[in-house]
Amino acid sequence: MEVTEKATKSANDYRAYVGPMDTYDLVAATQFNLLTSLGLREHHYLLDIGCGSLRAGRLFIPYLQPEHYCGIEPNSWLIKEGIQNECGYDLIALKKPSFDSNYEFQSTMFRRKFDFVLIHSIFTHATQKQITNCLSETVRVIKPNTVFAITFIEGSEDYEGDEWVYPNVVAYKMSTMQALMERFDLCFQPFDWPHPNKHTWLLMSPTKESIPTCPDTASSARMISELEYYKRRVEKLESSLYVKIGIKAKKLIRKLKS
């Protein structure tokens, strides 16, 4: 994930802050497609650690039953912008997701156990101590068959620093990630699932039997190809003079209402 300092402070920063803006939709779609392929259904409870500006939350919240989505994001302004610009307040009122803004990955405040845990693009910036703390807090709110879906950057050397790295990324050896997870008696399995930003995916669960069969990656690859095609069509449409006029008129109306 490469985000320049300028991008994080731009007019559209709620999107730029969480990754390249041109893959915002693709990253969300791959997460949603992955979890539903792994067995996520509307009645399950999902914990989204590092939910950001609801890049994936805008897909999970309408899909899940009310009160079944919980997100942790230390930057509360990202959640606010995500609700305002991606979900809308009516959807939030209808689906009643829960959010918390803490830096320690604490999730017990939701007072529930989760069927699925998504930790996307957190370990790509975190220290080993922060990864350990995240896992330590998360295992307190899981069930015997909870499924984790996690991303990290696989490398030949481990990041040894003691500071969160952002917007740059850090890498870890696969053996290091395995050792960190085994400290909490979590079984893990790396698997090949497309990611627009070249992250490596891991599946984890308290038991090997609870790790789902890895889904067909071909279906995700087709989905990404189709999304890119339709994104190009949308970009072409947005360049239309009439669409530009309509967008300006909508912004003006919104500004007058506020």
Residues 153, 241 within the same domain: no
Q: What is the value of pTM for the model shown? A: 0.79
Output the pLDDT for position 9. Answer: 42
Q: What is the CATH number of the domain that holds 52?
A: 3.40.50.150
Residues 133, 210 within the same domain: yes
d(CA 236, CA 97): 34
Residues 92, 121 within the same domain: yes
pLDDT tens digits along 11-28: 458 888 887 888 898 899
Residues 71, 149 within the same domain: yes
pLDDT category of residue 136 using cuts at 50, 70 and 90: very high
Whether the predicted pLDDT of 6 surpasses 50: no
Residues 231, 189 within the same domain: no
Residues 85, 18 within the same domain: yes
Residues in the chain: 258
Lowest mean pLDDT segment, chosen from 56-65, 151-160, 231-240, 248-257? 231-240
Q: Domain total for the chain?
A: 2
Whether the predicted pLDDT of 180 surpasses 80: yes
